[in-house]
Amino acid sequence: MASPVDLSVPQPDPASILPLGSDPLLLACGAMALVALAAISRVVSSRRETREVARTARQHGDAMRDFLQTLRMAERLAGIGIWQYDPQTGEQHWSDGMKRLFGIDEDEQFVAGDAETLLFAHDIDLVGEVERNRHQTEPFEFEFELNTPDIPLRGLRVQACNLIGANGEVRSIVGVVRERGESETARKPAHSDIVSGLDAPITALCDPLTGIATRRLVMAELGRRLVDARITEMPLVLVMFDVDHFQRINADRGAAAADTVLRRVAAIAGAQARESDLLGRVGDSEFAWIVPGASDRMARIMTERLRQAIAATDAKDGTPAVTISVGYSAMKPDDTALSLFARVDGALWEARASGCNRVRMAA
């Protein structure tokens, strides 16, 4: 009889069994571990570099603060100001010393347009002067006159230079501004000197015909009061009014009658203005009235009252009765003296276009 055949499948030794694909898996795990170690190393290195960068930045920041403090001290001691102009963007930077020269508190913050407003108010074309000298490769100088209410009619000298960029173009213009004369007496005139030279300040700040402020003083004060209003968060209104048909009065009645009309209008408006207000003549027959702390409703009442007071004045001694057209607007947060002035002038134009003897508020 044949022996039976063993049909069972031999079982492998368990110790010899390895998981499927174990070699690639071990290699992948090793690679991942190396990647993790490299990442950790980079993080540690990055943190070390970050700390080093932060330390260097702090050192640079401290050095910059020290430099600025030294610059402010030098400006104050020397009575100078630093003015910077970017010809690409048109932006200006005024140092604390530059603000002091123009009678502005050094802590007051400028918004876009404030610098241009101050220069315009004082009839100073700094930008135009440096633009005309952009071809200069050496430092250049020029002078201008400055009138401020506290120390009028001062001569200022500017020493400027063009800073050239890598492309050969002027990237910035820097000017050092100082008063003419080397002594402190020249920088700060004595009271007797100011009094003895009053003829020039009067014509610059006071209109000789009407006795009220000039356009230059109105624009300078408007810029200053806008800055104050932003700091104190108080409202401010600008009013402008014009004598209707003034050119016809001048042609038909003569210059003497026209002058009398202007003096009478200025006197009536002056009686309406408050002590804190500023009234000025800004054109041939145009007037401006700065009203700090006034709301839109208050401004409407004040302008209507002024219009009615002038319209109610009778003709006298050959001087005709007249009316005025009025425009007004409250300041906006981003207003400069120029932007507010232009907006109110537009409202005044609308009042005239509506038939005169009207009050219009700017949009």
pLDDT tens figures, 206-228:
888 999 998 888 888 888 888 88
CA distance 299 to 292: 10
**How high is the pLDDT of residue 192?**
35
Partners of residue 60 on adjacent β-strands: none
**How high is the pLDDT of residue 185?**
37
Backbone angles phi, psi at 163, to 5 degrees: -95, 120
- Over pLDDT 90: what percentage of the chain? 28
CA distance 28 to 30: 5
Domains of the chain: 76-192 (3.30.450.20), 206-361 (3.30.70.270)
Run of H or E residues at 344: helix 337-353
- What average pLDDT does the segment 174-178 reach? 86
CA distance 205 to 281: 11
Q: Please say whether the beta carbons of 179 and 155 come within 8 A.
A: yes
Instruction: Name the token pair of 84.
Output: 């910077």
For residue 16, the 8-state DSSP code is G
* Residue found by looking up tokens 């014009």 in the block: 242
**How high is the pLDDT of residue 8?**
55
pLDDT digits (tens, 9 = 90+) for 16-50: 554 544 556 666 666 676 766 666 767 666 666 66
Q: What is the pTM of this model?
A: 0.54
- Over pLDDT 70: what percentage of the chain? 68
pLDDT digits (tens, 9 = 90+) for 306-321: 999 999 988 777 788 9
Q: Please say whether the beta carbons of 106 and 112 come within 8 A.
A: no
* Residue found by looking up tokens 């009235």 in the block: 289
- What average pLDDT does the segment 123-142 reach? 85
Backbone angles phi, psi at 91, to 5 degrees: -75, 145
Is 299 buried (19+), middle (13-18) or exposed (0-12) by CB count in 10 A? buried
pLDDT digits (tens, 9 = 90+) for 137-154: 888 888 888 765 555 567
Residue 346: partners with Cβ closer than 8 Å, 6 or more residues away? 327, 362
- What does DSSP say about strands 154-164 and 140-146: parallel, antiparallel, or unpaired? antiparallel
Asked which of 5-14, 50-59, 75-84, 246-255 is least confident by mean pLDDT, the reply is 5-14
Nearest by Cα to 337 from 244, 229, 243, 259: 229
- What average pLDDT does the segment 265-272 reach? 94
